[in-house]
Amino acid sequence: MQDREIAQREAEQLRKELERVRRVAGAGASSSRAAEGSQTDLEDQLAAAVRKAEEAQTELAERERELRTATDCASQLQGQVDAATGERDRLCIRVEAAELLVAKTTRELATLWVQGSSVD
């Protein structure tokens, strides 16, 4: 966000400078062709710099949108990971409970077999 503000300020400064140069050129127009050519060159350079700053600002805004989209996707994926982790933990608990039940049932069955064989 800070880069965007800097780019906006630079573009605005360049626009103001271009306007100032144009006003000076309009107010104090020189009769010399060399001075006019130099003035026009400066205006062209300034206009190019303004366009470049505006393009950079546009590119920065696009990158910002892409970053927001990527951040949203990452957040959604993290939510899915969290849900899967929770489900895995629940299944592990169920497995442990089933293993305990099998062990308990096996002990009870062994006890019944021992009691049954001593009766015979």
Asked if residue 64 lies in contact with residue 4, where contact means CB atoms within 8 angstroms, the answer is: yes
The answer for residues whose C-beta is within 8 angstroms of residue 49's C-beta and 6 or more apart is 14
pLDDT in tens, 70-82: 999 999 999 999 9
DSSP state, residue 28? T
Average pLDDT, the chain: 85
Does 43 fall in a domain?
yes
pTM of the predicted structure, to 2 decimals: 0.52
Both structure tokens of 34: 């060399």
User: Does the pLDDT of residue 89 top 70, yes or no?
Assistant: yes
Question: How many Cα atoms sit within 13 Å of 30 on the Cβ side?
Answer: 12
Q: Which domain holds residue 69?
A: 2-91
Does 101 fall in a domain?
no
Residue 49's CB is within 10 A of a number of other CB atoms, namely 17
Structural domain count of the chain: 1
Does 74 fall in a domain?
yes
Residue with the bigger pLDDT between 20 and 94: it is 94
Does 104 fall in a domain?
no
